[in-house]
Structure 1
């Protein structure tokens, strides 16, 4: 009888063309499938909780896979970490019910986007340097507006084949990390392709005085990607957390 397993893992996306397998370029999904197939001696396909773009990182990602036998989960994690590249690490493997789905069973995802305003060689790989003054109080007032809307077509990558641009944002705020460092936190039930980076780019325009609060509202209501700000670089974006219903956590999906 086939068993379903959830794999919790993290990765530095610098060297990858995103999460999802594609014809040209190595991806995180490719690496995981190769490692699992090698260790389990069976062709293993994984389904991720979401997709991250080229260069984007994940402090927590979840994927599920099916296997024909019972697995020693702790031993599999140990072996995965022996053969996975140094920029991908497995945290745990959990046996779940067959109706559980890494993507569709998730109830929320949280992303962090990091920025700094003072040149620092140790931040450049995982944070975006912004060399101009920003009004973060104003940016937080604009960010709060995101929770008043449910259609985010304005922040969806153009020519993307999506069935709906509806999302429920439950958290959106800027957090200060130091004198010159901040990060943006956003939580939603789902995200559109390129959505977080486009939201951050538009909020930065608000902070620079290029867009007013009324203008930010009109951008959301206009539902046109061309009205929003530029997409920010991917290297400063982290998928931080994925949450599942409490009843799933009670059956081993505690995070």
Structure 2
């Protein structure tokens, strides 16, 4: 009689998390990262060690509503069980949003063709208590149109060396920024950035530079100069992480992952609904 031998399969999960309480995504010796909590829960759920790979590592204080991971496992569970069972083992600030079995050639990082981040900035004298840790703050009067003009210099394929962290490990500083949209709704200024990939601190460094333009410290053309200089020391300081959200990761249709419900035309409303 032939035994039923478990088959190794690849699973993908959609993950959302509030980054305030964690030391970023990537595993650390202190065990207080999103990856650490997720892998502990998956290991307990499957009764075997699980190592995950994510679409994009987020820093301390950065949030995710559209993070994607993959891992290999012999565990055989229904899709809804992966969601409900793993969530039961996670802290309430981390949630599995969906689960999908994928082909062996799927890779959460390398198969991704686009990533979208949203930065929420409240332009007011003090940050409303309910938005502490969830939004950035600048109390200066900001010129939105100047920031929009400046942002358009960044759209397209560029060497983003002036906007990368000094500890960035990417082999190339060249990235293609497909979209940089800035909207204002009351005290909210909402930045939406979509690219094939991002460098370490790239989004927060871009926000910092655009805010400098908004304050009138520089003209919009300064952004073009920064790109040409290819040197981080000439740019603005890295902006606070609080208002940054990884909202979507896009993959080729052949992987059949759940479609994103995030609306790029209404980023604030989509974000509030997802929180």
- TM-score clears 0.5: yes
Q: Which residue of 38, 41, 64 corresponds with 1:58?
A: 64
CA distance in 1 between counterparts of 2:198 and 2:99 reads 25
Where do 5+ consecutive residues of structure 2 fail to align?
1-6, 261-275
CA distance in 1 between counterparts of 2:157 and 2:38 reads 36
Structure 1: which 4+ aligned runs deviate by more than 4 Å? none
CA distance in 1 between counterparts of 2:259 and 2:222 reads 41
CA distance in 2 between counterparts of 1:101 and 1:81 reads 23
Deviations 1:63-117 (A, max 9, x none): 0010124321211211111110010011111000000000111111100111112
Is 2:144 aligned against 1:139?
A: no
Matches within 5 A, 1:73-92: 73-92=79-98
Query: What SS does the corresponding residue of 2:116 show, helix, strand or coil?
Result: strand
Alignment match, 1:243: 250
1:160 Cα offset (Å): 2.6
CA distance in 1 between counterparts of 2:252 and 2:198 reads 18
Where do 5+ consecutive residues of structure 1 fail to align?
none
1:172 Cα offset (Å): 0.2
CA distance in 1 between counterparts of 2:204 and 2:121 reads 12
Q: Which residue of 183, 186, 190 corresponds with 1:183?
A: 190
CA distance in 2 between counterparts of 1:141 and 1:64 reads 38
Query: What SS does the corresponding residue of 1:122 show, helix, strand or coil?
Result: helix
Is 2:202 aligned against 1:203?
A: no
Query: What SS does the corresponding residue of 1:218 show, helix, strand or coil?
Result: helix
CA distance in 1 between counterparts of 2:196 and 2:162 reads 17
Is 2:127 aligned against 1:122?
A: no
Alignment match, 2:238: 231
Alignment TM-score, normalising by the size of structure 1: 0.95
Query: What SS does the corresponding residue of 2:72 show, helix, strand or coil?
Result: strand
Is 2:22 aligned against 1:16?
A: yes
1:235 Cα offset (Å): 1.1
Is 2:69 aligned against 1:95?
A: no
Alignment match, 1:167: 175
Q: How many residues align?
A: 252
1:25 Cα offset (Å): 5.1
Larger deviation, residues 28-37 vs 144-153: 144-153
Q: Indicate how the Cα distance of structure 1 residues 25 and 68 shifts in structure 2: closer, same or farther if over 3 A, else same.
A: closer
Cα root mean square deviation, aligned: 1.3
Q: Which residue of 146, 155, 160 corresponds with 2:163?
A: 155
